[in-house]
Amino acid sequence: MMLPYLFRLLCLCFASFFLLNALLSSLIRLTSKTAIRFAETKPPDSAARFLFALRLLPFALSTLFVIVLCVPSYLWLEPSNTGEEVGWVCSSLGFLGALICSLSILRIARALLASWRHNRLCASLGFETHLPGDSAPVVVIENEAPLLAVSGLLHPRLLISRGVVRALSAEELEVAFRHEHAHHASRDNAKRLLILLAPDTIPFLPMLRTLECNWSKFTEWAADDQATEGNSLRALSLAAALVRVARMDAGPRVPALATSLLSGDRDLEARIARLLVPNPLRFAATDPPDSDLRFRGAALLVAAVLAAMVLAPSTLSAVHSLLERFIH
């Protein structure tokens, strides 16, 4: 199939993205059990960050390859005044790459629309006020269905139903609010958006779902730990709040860009067991505040060295030769 200059570039970009994303995702899936066991040895907040980075790694590296190597080498070394035959393998992979990226964009659009509609509906059914135990404004919804969640991205709102307000004591409400504020501080809704943005390996086949479920579990554990801060009374109050809300009627389905107290009832028994068995080492093992800064500094240094290496003319020439073989 003959394609003009820019269409060949698009085909190469999508094909390279699909192939590299599939290879890296397959490798991570093969090692996911080991990665999860390693995460279980870390504090929940560190485990959640590790699994989140691992989930986004194929998407990040594939995008980086296309932007930093594929596009510059093609524009620099490929003649622009000639047509060229594109093989069926490259064309097929390019189509699949374009398809998974389109599905990813569609997921993002649907999630954003659902979040906007949900927040607008809650605002119309409730009113904003301040409740005991929380200094931030809360949207109280005149409904008996169990709902307590942080919803939205740019301006997340803390939503709670009148039924939950009646069901929980003042101490339980306070620690439940602390749990939701921990999600807000960790930007978990934004991380959910990035996970939705990362394309599947093969259309409609999420190979890394296990990583996503374990990331969600550790985010809940981390929010529980931040809410209780090692205080046994707070831990008991949060466990009681979880049980009370779980025993209420089925609650409304929250959108993907929202973090609820029960998190869809997944792993509820394990959460309650952690809260009822205090473990001081759980908090003592938390990473020191400056560890993130050291990690980011090392990551920037490595990124700068890699950028200097990949932008060398010899590297771009080698990548162009590889793309030439790939396109035919």
pLDDT in tens, 230-262: 888 999 999 999 999 988 877 677 888 888 888
DSSP H or E segment with residue 88: helix 88-125
pLDDT of 64-74, one tens digit each? Answer: 889 888 888 88
Output b/e per residue, 135-146; b: 16+ Cβ within 10 A.
eeebbbbebeeb
149 to 83, 99, 175, 251, 325: CA distances (angstroms): 55, 33, 13, 11, 52
3-state secondary structure of 85: strand
pLDDT of 124-156, one tens digit each? Answer: 888 888 776 666 788 899 888 888 999 888 788
Paired with 140 in beta bridges are: 127, 160
Paired with 259 in beta bridges are: 150
The whole-model pTM stands at 0.84
**First-to-final CA distance of the chain:** 10
Please give the Cα distance from 138 to 89 (Å, whole number). Answer: 55
C-alpha dihedral, 286 to 132 to 190 to 123, nearest 10°: 170
**Of 11-20, 100-109, 307-316, minimum mean pLDDT range:** 307-316
Output b/e per residue, 244-267; b: 16+ Cβ within 10 A.
bbeebeebbebbbbbbbbbbeeeb
* Mean pLDDT (whole number) for 175-180: 92
Do residues 254 and 149 make contact, with C-beta atoms less than 8 angstroms apart? yes
Closest listed residue to residue 190, CA positions, set 234, 256, 137, 287: 256
C-alpha dihedral, 171 to 174 to 180 to 183, nearest 10°: -100
Q: What is the pLDDT of residue 59?
A: 94
Closest listed residue to residue 195, CA positions, set 252, 134, 256: 256
Which tokens in the block code for residue 64? 């980086």
Paired with 128 in beta bridges are: 139
